[in-house]
Amino acid sequence: MEYDIDRMMLLLRDASVQWPKPVVTEMANRRRDPYRVLIATLISLRTKDEVTRMASERLFGLANTPEEMVRLSEEQIAEAIHPALYNWNKAATIRNVSRTLIEEYGGRVPDTMEELLALKGVGRKTANLVLTDGFRKPGICVDTHVHRITNRWGYVRTKTPEETEFALREKLPAKYWQEINELLVAFGQNVCRPISPFCSQCPVYEYCERNGVATHR
């Protein structure tokens, strides 16, 4: 299948005005703060957007900086971000990352992939989202939506999100790196769902191989 990625991105961009933005992107657009992007992303892992939004707002009502965060106990953080999944583990990660930022980076969030990945508990998805949404630097944040949809299209053929990231780095024009996550997360939540996607509403239907789609609407 031929992929006109420029046309596909234009169609998705036009359609996205009717979809809610992913919560971390929405928060970053309101206040460009790499630390808040980092913490909200850590909370968001395996957690629905509406829960991430409420949990992040509660936590940021208590602490907005690494210095303020380490003054909280793990119990206070865990209670603030409940019912985010694995809230106790995330609380420990948030507090430890905040301490590391103070001790090794003067309280600032580093802006390179290598330094972000050196923070315990930060993986490639989180690091890429901090780069793109926190610093407006190039990165490709691949979550389950980006991985599923680009493979469903047949644009890439990979087995893991990390493989998808590196495949997209080779194939996707760099001008789309920053927005691919925002567009495909919203697209995946509202149209291209994991089970029984709304193919009748899909703006890029003609470009999709529909790999793995057993039923659709």
Annotated active-site positions, please? 125, 143
Among 179, 142, 149, residue whose Cα is nearest residue 163: 142
Among 21, 59, 26, residue whose Cα is nearest residue 42: 59
From first CA to last CA, the distance across the chain in angstroms is 22
Q: Helix and strand tally (H, E) in the chain?
A: 12, 0
Helix, strand, or coil (residue 176): helix
CA-to-CA dists, residue 200 to 125, 191, 197, 204, angstroms: 30, 9, 9, 10
Contact 94, 39 (CB under 8 A): yes
Within 13 Å of residue 121, how many CA atoms lie on the same side as its CB?
20
